[in-house]
């Protein structure tokens, strides 16, 4: 059984591969500040993409739980702050174009198969 960090890392690996297959270049992972973390920073067509990954390992049954429900108001506020910090740290100007997405990774514990869903361009 995987612990929370291992599940998160596993889901992020799947998400990175999903993004690469769609033409994204992974620029950074796990950009961490004491007020928050960005799971993945990617670039595609000159646009920065900040990605929050939510992973869930399940046994094949739908229990009605949606991992993206954990991207709540407090989480969004922290993400806004850490994205601003990232843009400042990496010397992006005020006119830097970026988008925020949530990737949901559902892994079937029995079969090992994963399903990826990307909720694109979420307003912060």
Q: For 7-30, what is each residue's pLDDT tens digit?
A: 778 889 999 999 999 999 999 999
The answer to whether residue 64 scores a pLDDT higher than 70 is no
Closest CA to 4 of 56, 66, 62: 56
Note whether residue 69 is domain-resident.
yes
Closest CA to 47 of 120, 99, 95: 99
Note whether residue 124 is domain-resident.
no
Contact predicate 81/38, CB 8 Å: no
Q: What is the CATH number of the domain that holds 15?
A: 3.40.1350.10
User: Domain limits at 21?
Assistant: 4-119
Counted domains in the chain: 1
Contact predicate 74/35, CB 8 Å: no
Contact predicate 16/40, CB 8 Å: yes
Bridge partners (DSSP) of residue 100 are 50
What pLDDT band is residue 75 in, cutting at 50, 70 and 90? confident
């Amino acid at each position: 059984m995987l612990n929370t960090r291992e599940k998160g890392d596993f889901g992020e690996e799947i998400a990175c591969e999903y993004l690469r297959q769609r033409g994204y270049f992974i620029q950074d992972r796990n950009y961490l500040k004491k007020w928050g973390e960005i799971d993945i920073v990617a670039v595609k067509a000159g646009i920065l993409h900040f990605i929050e990954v939510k992973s869930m390992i399940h046994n094949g049954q739908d229990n009605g739980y949606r991992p993206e429900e954990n991207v709540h108001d407090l989480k969004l506020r922290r993400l806004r702050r850490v994205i601003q910090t990232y843009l400042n740290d990496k010397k992006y100007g005020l006119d830097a174009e970026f988008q925020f997405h949530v990737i949901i990774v559902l892994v079937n514990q029995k079969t090992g198969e994963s399903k990826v869903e990307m909720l694109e361009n979420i307003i912060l």
